[in-house]
Amino acid sequence: MTDLVTFGETMLRLSPPDGERLETTDDLELRAAGAESNVAVAASRLGASAAWTSKLPDSPLGRRVVSSLRQHGVETDVVWSDDGRQGTYYLEHGGKPRGTNVIYDRAGAAVTTAESEELPVERVREAERFHTSGITPALSETLESTTADLLAAAREAGTTTSFDVNYRSKLWDPAEARETMETLFPDVDLLLVAERDARDVLGREGDADDIAAGLVEEFDFETVIVTRGEEGALARHDGEVYEQSAIETDTLDPIGTGDAFLGAFLARRLAGDGVATALEYGSATAALKRTIPGDVAVVTREEVESVLAEEGGEISR
């Protein structure tokens, strides 16, 4: 049995080297990247048995996605399609004041037509945990209802569900996002939300604890985690509040930080750890992720524990 099943789009990420611009570069790095598969990778690397399900074009590009995830021990359960594209995104990393620029090229992706009938719903039901994010229902109407179906199926079967708000302004506007997500929340056990999204999208006010408390109250989540960037994270779980500080990093690539955090958190929860310990692992895994190029946390549990033991950051020889 798989501990964790995640569902969502995984794209190919194309990025020029070292500050170069898409307009002039001749070279692109190619990596697979997707919020939900990033979570599965982090969970797998931290020891969970993790799977990812989605719909991909039957092409070298779709196969590339699968190969990349398998590297990290993630099982893939994919509907291969003759229609639809492989979604991609182009990424330019620039320092201040340029920032990191993401150009999505995901319209018409095969996954946008994925219906729950063709997906491995039984597997979701049998898993201990099921995870998806707010990106998925934003991609198409079909995916909106598929997401709802899967969350409902999971909930019904006793699979613990998690949902990362992951608001993307290039996909929809806050009002749409809020409306859609709030219809999904009743089937969600664990909600992860960035403090900014909580305010701008979910219309929350107050500090992180107010946000978490309000969300629990309104939607009856078992767990709410509010991430706060360099200020760490705050969780509410079964009426208790947990504060987790962030670890200082030399950031090479910030993309995927939240997914690494959540993947590690879920892995430790699946392994039986409490929320406080799981948050610590999440925080250390997220910190390591930021030192690694690409969307996924290519780390080991030993490395995460070494960060927690404050041994990292020097030369080990």
| 70-129 binders of a second copy (CB under 8 A) | 70-73, 85-86, 88-90, 92, 94-105, 107-108
Stretch of 11-19, 152-160, 200-208, 217-225 lying at the interface with a second copy (CB under 8 A): 11-19
CA distance 202 to 210: 13
CA distance 133 to 35: 7
Residue 155 CB, shortest distance to a second copy, in Å, is 29
| Burial (CB count within 10 angstroms: exposed 0-12, middle 13-18, buried 19+), residue 97 | exposed
Applying CB under 8 A, among 68, 136, 162, 227 the residue interacting with a second copy is: 68
Catalytic residue of the set 3, 187, 197, 259: 259
**CB nearer to a second copy: pick between 174 and 293:** 293
Q: Does 25 bind a second copy (CB under 8 A)?
A: yes
Q: Does 315 bind a second copy (CB under 8 A)?
A: yes
**CB nearer to a second copy: pick between 47 and 312:** 312
Tell me, yes or no, if 259 is annotated catalytic.
yes
Q: Does 230 bind a second copy (CB under 8 A)?
A: no
- Residues with Cβ within 8 Å of 2's Cβ and at least 6 positions away in sequence, in order, are 49, 50, 51, 75, 123, 126, 127
Residue where the block lists tokens 């670890």: 247
Binding-site string for a second copy from residue 47 to residue 66, where x marks contact by CB under 8 A and - marks none: ------------xxx-xx--
Q: Does 287 bind a second copy (CB under 8 A)?
A: yes
Nearest to 233 by CA among 185, 177, 278, 273: 278
CA distance 286 to 295: 11
Residue 69 CB, shortest distance to a second copy, in Å, is 9
| Burial (CB count within 10 angstroms: exposed 0-12, middle 13-18, buried 19+), residue 311 | exposed
Q: Does 291 bind a second copy (CB under 8 A)?
A: yes
- Residues marked active site are found at 259
